[in-house]
Structure 1
Amino acid sequence: MEIPGEEYLLKCTAACAGCSDSLTLRYVLKAAGPDSVLIVPACCTSVIQGAYPYTSFNIPVYNIAFAAAAACASGMSNAFCALGKKTHVIVYAGDGGTLDIGLQSLSGAFERGTDFLYICYDNEAYGNTGMQRSGATPFGARTPTTPAGKTHQKKDIDAIVAAHDPPYMATACPAYPRDLFEKVRKALTFRGPSFLHVLAPCPPGWRFPAGKSVELGKLAVKTGMWVLYERQYGKLSLSVQSRAALKKPAPLEEYLAPQGRFEGIDAVAIDILKRHVSENLKKLAAEEGAE
């Protein structure tokens, strides 16, 4: 499948250098095409559009309150359906607006069977307000609100969404653009709610050089810290990149070392992370094998 040359995210964004959010959105929009509308709650994406009356987004965008994105999508999807239109309704939200503040409206929209795609681009903190910890922040990461390192594991939003039994859900990372592109394309073929959870390494927030966003994304997958898979009508399939990580994962330290947010993390915390990563990989592999 060829990735189209058309661009719906223009070069005038206000994104930080090396921004994985904007890189993700570029491929999302290439997959969705021009007959799409984005619903964006408060997050980095609501900032990088540019200052009114100008915008770097070449499709319609509806900016909405933090907690209301999926509720807005429900109304918009029903309106398009009533008009006989097949416009793609896509919520594009950060982890704070998904795992925390927007979780109730997400759950409601999925329970109602809303026909839309919900994408969470996950930079593992509240990115546009200073990188405070969110439910997605990993164990051991230092943020302004967890200066000694977060003491809780990352919330498993994928398990929460899977409990709603959507027809399609998947994980992705812009470091693997074809995998991301194909999963967006596939998600948009299903009627009802679909969910895509995308890891978006953040140079200023994670404190690594701007040129290393793709490298960090690949290391997340190769170490098993981020697992690529899709679940279609409940059936789990690991992506080829995570199958390789399951057989021979890269040392977790290779992923942690370049990130300032893990500076000073001790051996005990690293062992806890390693155990969590190993258990998660085994759990997903066992689920896939059981099917």
Structure 2
Amino acid sequence: MANKVAESISREEFFYGHKACAGCGGSLAVRAALKVLGPNAVSVLPAGCMSAVGFNFPQLCFSNNSIISTFAGTASMLTGVEAGLRARGYKDFTAVGFAGDGGTADIGIQALSGAIDRNDNIIYICYDNEAYMNTGIQKSGLTPFGAKTTTTPAGKNIHGNIRPKKNMFEIAAAHDIPYAATASVGYIYDFIQKMQKASQIQGTKYIHVIAPCPTGWGVAPDETVDIAKEVVDCGLWYLAEYENGTFKLNHKPKEFTDVSAYLKKQGRFKHLTDEDIQIITASRDKKWEFINKNFEL
């Protein structure tokens, strides 16, 4: 199955020569997505890791047409790109946006909501490394509970971030979007298949892919894929789709791996107490109760 999926995408590279940190999960997500969409994809990227590492004058690390948007305007600029190309008679193209967690869940959520409401024919991809990594590892709306960042430090009284992670997948689905999905670079074949599916659907598509940042997460560069797989296997992230008003679970672990082991591997969670880990585990179990009741298998 894996070989069939790998063989279904282009052997050409559309994102290379960039200056991303070793082990960057975001660059892996962008590379795989563009290999699915091919040379006629037109990508829009706001301020963030991928624009910082991909647009280095005089070198452009995208071999297809790409542009940097305002931090808040990924989705609105995608609207303009799609409408402009269509107005000029182009048909064989895909307008795709790549925005980080802050540029999606915080700064860009209004423009994203508007694009979904208009049902613009675009693909919006959130590569989620769970903090504003490009500007110094500050908390975003997608930073998980307990994580240490420069704006949610771990001290004697407060153990990192005290707020839960926003559920952007369900927020997008609440708009009755044509297609939304979750993914992880630890399950890259699942991500590729969802990209292929999204490319064939008319209207707005939203894919939320977990893309670890070794620098911000405190893991070794060669552990990116493993830790992105483990977050799914321990149940703190799930692989699912929303389509035609229905939620569908794509992968259900037979038995969750140890949450504590996943957390303790990362520098951002080293400070957590047993009580903190119990809170995180209880939150996971509550979420999976909801999933089991409301998602199709």
Say yes or no: TM over 0.5.
yes
Query: Is the CA contact (8 Å cut-off) linking 1:219 and 1:254 kept in structure 2?
Result: no
Segments of 4+ in structure 1 off by > 6 A? none
Query: Is the CA contact (8 Å cut-off) linking 1:172 and 1:180 kept in structure 2?
Result: yes
- Residue 117 of structure 1: aligned partner: 123
Query: CA-atom RMSD, angstroms?
Result: 1.2
- Residue 102 of structure 2: aligned partner: 96
- Residue 177 of structure 1: aligned partner: 188
Deviation of the 1:4 alpha carbon: 2.6
Percentage identity across paired residues of the two chains: 40
For the pair 1:128 / 2:134, whether they are aligned, the reply is yes
Query: Is the CA contact (8 Å cut-off) linking 1:138 and 1:153 kept in structure 2?
Result: yes
Q: Secondary structure at the residue paired with 2:186?
A: coil
Once the two structures are superposed, what CA deviation does each residue of 1:171-223 show, in whole Å capped at 9, x if it has no partner?
A: 11112121111101101111110000000111000111111001101100100
Aligned with residue 35 of structure 2, among 27, 30, 33 = 30
Q: How many residues align?
A: 285
| Paired amino acid for 2:11 | G
Query: Is the CA contact (8 Å cut-off) linking 1:227 and 1:281 kept in structure 2?
Result: no
| Paired amino acid for 2:123 | L
Using the alignment, how far apart are the partners of 1:43 and 1:65 within structure 2? 10
Query: Is the CA contact (8 Å cut-off) linking 2:10 and 2:38 kept in structure 1?
Result: no
- Residue 172 of structure 2: aligned partner: 161
Using the alignment, how far apart are the partners of 1:216 and 1:8 within structure 2? 25
- Residue 228 of structure 1: aligned partner: 239
Query: Is the CA contact (8 Å cut-off) linking 1:14 and 1:50 kept in structure 2?
Result: no
For the pair 1:270 / 2:277, whether they are aligned, the reply is yes
For the pair 1:8 / 2:14, whether they are aligned, the reply is yes
TM-score (norm 2): 0.93
Query: Is the CA contact (8 Å cut-off) linking 1:125 and 1:133 kept in structure 2?
Result: yes
- Residue 75 of structure 1: aligned partner: 80
Deviation of the 1:50 alpha carbon: 4.3
- Residue 19 of structure 1: aligned partner: 24
Aligned with residue 279 of structure 1, among 265, 282, 286 = 286
* Residue range with higher mean Cα deviation, 77-86 or 150-159: 77-86
Query: Is the CA contact (8 Å cut-off) linking 1:140 and 1:150 kept in structure 2?
Result: yes
* Residue range with higher mean Cα deviation, 105-114 or 82-91: 82-91
| Paired amino acid for 2:126 | C
- Residue 261 of structure 2: aligned partner: 254
Using the alignment, how far apart are the partners of 2:26 and 2:44 within structure 1? 15
- Residue 149 of structure 2: aligned partner: 143
Using the alignment, how far apart are the partners of 2:90 and 2:290 within structure 1? 41
Query: Is the CA contact (8 Å cut-off) linking 1:125 and 1:136 kept in structure 2?
Result: yes
Using the alignment, how far apart are the partners of 1:275 and 1:269 within structure 2? 10
Using the alignment, how far apart are the partners of 1:250 and 1:219 within structure 2? 8
Deviation of the 1:9 alpha carbon: 1.4
Using the alignment, how far apart are the partners of 2:294 and 2:84 within structure 1? 38
- Residue 63 of structure 2: aligned partner: 58
Using the alignment, how far apart are the partners of 1:60 and 1:280 within structure 2? 40
Q: Secondary structure at the residue paired with 1:197?
A: strand
Using the alignment, how far apart are the partners of 1:217 and 1:74 within structure 2? 31
User: Structure 2 unaligned runs (5+)?
Assistant: 155-159
User: Structure 1 unaligned runs (5+)?
Assistant: none
Deviation of the 1:83 alpha carbon: 2.4
Using the alignment, how far apart are the partners of 2:217 and 2:38 within structure 1? 31
Once the two structures are superposed, what CA deviation does each residue of 1:66-89 show, in whole Å capped at 9, x if it has no partner?
A: 001111111111112222323100
Using the alignment, how far apart are the partners of 2:244 and 2:178 within structure 1? 5
Using the alignment, how far apart are the partners of 2:240 and 2:148 within structure 1? 28
Once the two structures are superposed, what CA deviation does each residue of 1:196-254 show, in whole Å capped at 9, x if it has no partner?
A: 00001110001111110011011001001110111112222211xx31x2x31111012
Deviation of the 1:285 alpha carbon: 2.0
Deviation of the 1:282 alpha carbon: 2.1
For the pair 1:46 / 2:51, whether they are aligned, the reply is yes
Deviation of the 1:286 alpha carbon: 1.2
